[in-house]
A and B are shown apart, each in its own frame.
Chain A
Amino acid sequence: MSQIFDIVVIGAGPAGANAALTAAWAGCRVAMVDEQRKPGGQVWRAKNPVVLEAPTTPESRSGDALRQEVACSTVLTFAQSRVWQIESAASGWEIYVLKEGKVVTLVAKALILATGAREYVQPVPGWTTPGVIGLAGATAMFKQDLALPGQRTVVSGTGPLVFFVASEIRRLGGEVAAVVTPNSKREWLRAFPAMVRRPDLLVRGALWVADLYLAGVPIYWRHAVAEIDGETDVSGVTIRRLTRDWAPDGEPEFLGADSLCLGNGLTPAAEAAQLAGLELRYRADLGGWCPEVDASGETEREGLFLCGDGAGIRGAAAAEIHGKLTGETASAYVRGVAPGENHLLQQAYQRAARFGMAMTALSVPRKGLQTLMCADTVVCRCESLTRSDIVAEINAGAQSTLSVKSGLRAGMGPCGGKFCQGTISQLIAQAKGGEVSDVPPPTARPPLRPIPVAALAGDFEYDDLPIPKPAPL
């Protein structure tokens, strides 16, 4: 039993939702699928009903406006629904969705992937201690539940996200023990020319930093958290100064805290694109391995479009515009007409993308950062594998992420390798004396998310089994 659409959009963040709206306004029958309860994605995440009264923020206002538009449109939203498989068939794209414990199949002429990004967290000793959360994970807590990670939090990581998280903690009444960032002030100054083209975003960022200065929150530039102290929960962190390559070289300094937000930039969530048949290539300037996509959202596969951070990390402002452009391209494809040229939108996209890529450049970790890992630092959380386990496998001859996965099961656990493969690639590259760009991620396989056996089985009737010709005796 399948439902038929002109376009299916996977992901309801700024990119996906705008693509869906644009295509729907152009007259296409559009379905949009997202894991979350409401559209908005990570950046414009909806609040849970219990905190609806909370004051609004620019993110919540943008998100509410978007949700309003989606609600008034003809876009059919599949919320709390997980895409677990994508296939191309003669009739178009087949998208397999897990919704309320059942498998639903959507069929569409065109598929728009807007699966966004995920955070890269560089493992350091103690990073799996309860009380340590990702920077991106922290923003989800703020937006959805107005919750705080702890009473007194160290916020550490690269790019603009550290400052946003720190200022949000303060706004919500928490205490920020310190901000620790591998970036230097000079790096930020160098990003300035790319930022002035989006003064609105620049001013917001400046306000976060100003707030921290005024409140006397110490900011440790060119520093990183080298270790997290505490057995069952965080009791503090040890920070160290970094070299230009971000390797630790300064004296350790201790900061007392009961929680830590830690993140090192975003990387495109590209597994869905891989399943849909796209090759990935390494683009450090776009946050890592990503598929080839142009500004109009077109890919090398017919009927397959991609927009937003999943096509390379360019940030929310660019994602929103990329979504609109992609919605236009995909709807033109469905209607069999040539896509119109929207120069103004293209220019706005280039400006926003330039800003976003400057932020990505600040966020991408440099090589030295991985030397924060010790032999017994956990790399693969699902299988509890340490750096020394992985390095031993590499030294025994495993020269690819595929070989390490086979030998150790790193990437075979519930997370499907989403959190460990980046680090494993680095370790392989380091051992070979090569670059991470020579160490691609393993083959993407379904399900994109773990899926219950009962859901796959559905209402199976034994008598429906297609009995094959018996194997030769």
Chain B
Amino acid sequence: MTIVYDIAVVGGGIMGCAAALEMAAGGMRPIVLEQSDIGQGASGVNAGTLSLQIKRVKLMPYALKGHHAWARMGAAVGFKKTGGFTLAFTEREAELLTERQTLKAKAGAPIEFVSTKRLRNVEPNLAQKVVAASYCAEDGYANSSLTGQYFRGRLCDEAIEYQERCQILAIDRGASYQLTTSRGVIYAKRLLLAAGAWIKTAAALLDVHLPVDARINTVSVTERMPALISSVIGHATGLLTMKQKANGTVLVGGGWQGRGRPQEGRGQVMASSVMPNIALAQFAMPGLSKARILRSWTGFEANVPDFYPLAGALPGFDDAFVLGCVRGGYTIGPYIGQLMGDFILGREPELPLFDPGRDFDEDML
């Protein structure tokens, strides 16, 4: 007898896994289908910064809830609430910092401006050239490389089926959805496309066009170092994120661009991005100059023209849904996945979702 799942979740990143867990808890029988390995897309390679200071004003309530979700997952995902500083090195950056963080504080994030003296007390190894800094005690990080291990474990614990190396080749609509995959045919009553930067390709299988773009973000890691910093560090322009993990390695990000397309492999690192990114990290923390970089990599971060998430029914469908394209989506992922699950279960989500059928040229919130 063929199994007809209640829902097939396409994509085993943080969005797909979080939604599947919520739906299973609500009594549904989902299956998660992942083209490579669980948690090896953006969710497994990102910088892991959980910072309210880099979240959009209108997404602040979601981000705050996201932080709490990460805190609950705790050590199993390498979560640490360290507090975070955002640094400005010029007057212009200081203005930018003040303007932006003030708005975020008003939106509910516990962000304050701190004196450079206090910054130096907490982080003596940062460069003396800082002219202004903001601080958020809620900020911290999680270890994105543990995403796969953690969610695979959770799916197993909750007896949720998943298939890896299972690529969706075609989707047909009959009495139920029929998914032709690289590992056989799968039937499901509903569909959730949580395919990250590949959402556009996945939606195209149902002849729906979604205006999704992908950025190719770069992250680098050093060898183990003696203790240099304890907080997560950001830069007023967003060009730098930096944190030292429990094992002593320092992770450097900041959205510097590599190249490639989601359809063709995992993207390529460009030296012309890594070099200034690392230079900026060393500028902010001179003690880093003694470290060696062991690995740089890229991942695809999806977005739509208005830079808000896609979370709701696929335009023209009432039993197919989309979830993705959240910038800083690692932070918000576990929470928005839960909201999406609730919506599909027919419950009223705690906070509103983001209609994928909206007019992307207008700011709809």
* 0/1 interface trace, chain B 264-298, chain A, CB 8 Å (1 if under): 01101111001110111111000011111111110
26 residue pairs bridging A and B, Cβ less than 8 Å apart: A103-B271, A103-B275, A398-B37, A398-B149, A398-B152, A402-B36, A406-B40, A407-B145, A412-B145, A413-B223, A414-B294, A416-B295, A443-B266, A443-B297, A445-B269, A445-B295, A446-B296, A447-B294, A456-B274, A465-B239, A466-B276, A467-B239, A468-B238, A468-B255, A471-B238, A472-B56
Interchain CB contact under 8 A, B295 and A407: no
Judge whether B191 is part of the interface by a CB distance below 8 angstroms. Answer: no
Question: 8 Å CB contacts to B: which residues of A311-364?
Answer: none
CB contact between A403 and one of B40, B266, B271, B280 (< 8 Å): that residue: B40
Interchain CB contact under 8 A, A473 and B271: no
Interchain CB contact under 8 A, A468 and B237: yes
Q: Pick from A105, A406, A446 the residue with the most CB of B within 10 Å.
A: A406
CB neighbours (8 Å) of A409 from chain B are 145, 247
Report the tally of A-B residue pairs with Cβ distances under 8 A: 152
Given that A94-B271, A397-B152, A406-B44 are known contacts, is A456 also in contact with B266, CB under 8 Å in the complex?
no
CB neighbours (8 Å) of A245 from chain B are none
Question: 8 Å CB contacts to A: which residues of B196-238?
Answer: 221-223, 237-238
Q: Within the assembled complex, what's the spacing in Å between the Cα atoms of A450 and B295?
A: 8
Question: 8 Å CB contacts to A: which residues of B321-336?
Answer: 327
Q: Looking at the assembled complex, report how far the CB atom of B267 sits from the nearest CB atom of chain A, in whole angstroms.
A: 9
* 0/1 interface trace, chain A 398-419, chain B, CB 8 Å (1 if under): 1110110111010011101000
Given that A85-B271, A450-B293, A453-B288 are known contacts, is A403 also in contact with B37, CB under 8 Å in the complex?
yes
The residue on A at minimum CB distance from B146 is: A407
Q: Within the assembled complex, what's the spacing in Å between the Cα atoms of A105 and B272?
A: 11
CB contact between A470 and one of B96, B146, B222, B276 (< 8 Å): that residue: B96
Q: Within the assembled complex, what's the spacing in Å between the Cα atoms of A403 and B279?
A: 30
Question: 8 Å CB contacts to A: which residues of B20-72?
Answer: 36-40, 44, 54, 56-57
Judge whether B354 is part of the interface by a CB distance below 8 angstroms. Answer: no
Question: 8 Å CB contacts to B: which residues of A94-136?
Answer: 94, 96, 103, 105
Q: Within the assembled complex, what's the spacing in Å between the Cα atoms of A281 and B253?
A: 32
Interchain CB contact under 8 A, A471 and B54: yes
Q: Looking at the assembled complex, report how far the CB atom of B250 sits from the nearest CB atom of chain A, in whole angstroms.
A: 9
Judge whether B261 is part of the interface by a CB distance below 8 angstroms. Answer: no
The residue on A at minimum CB distance from B292 is: A450
The residue on B at minimum CB distance from A471 is: B238
Interchain CB contact under 8 A, A406 and B238: no
Q: Looking at the assembled complex, report how far the CB atom of B196 sits from the nearest CB atom of chain A, in whole angstroms.
A: 16
Q: Within the assembled complex, what's the spacing in Å between the Cα atoms of A180 and B294?
A: 36
CB neighbours (8 Å) of B145 from chain A are 405-407, 409, 412
Instruction: State how many residues of chain B have any CB contact under 8 Å with chain A.
Output: 58
Interchain CB contact under 8 A, B148 and A458: no
The residue on A at minimum CB distance from B297 is: A445
CB neighbours (8 Å) of B265 from chain A are 443
The residue on A at minimum CB distance from B275 is: A456
Interchain CB contact under 8 A, B269 and A454: no
New A-B contacts (17) at CB < 8 Å, excluding given A397-B152, A414-B294, A457-B278: A85-B274, A96-B271, A396-B152, A396-B156, A400-B37, A406-B145, A406-B148, A409-B145, A414-B292, A443-B266, A446-B295, A447-B294, A454-B282, A454-B289, A456-B278, A471-B56, A473-B56
The residue on A at minimum CB distance from B129 is: A462
Judge whether B307 is part of the interface by a CB distance below 8 angstroms. Answer: yes
CB neighbours (8 Å) of A211 from chain B are none
CB neighbours (8 Å) of A454 from chain B are 282, 289-290
Question: 8 Å CB contacts to A: which residues of B137-164?
Answer: 145-149, 152-153, 156, 164
Q: Within the assembled complex, what's the spacing in Å between the Cα atoms of A85 and B270?
A: 8
CB neighbours (8 Å) of A69 from chain B are none
Judge whether B5 is part of the interface by a CB distance below 8 angstroms. Answer: no
Given that A406-B39, A453-B288, A471-B54 are known contacts, is A412 also in contact with B269, CB under 8 Å in the complex?
no
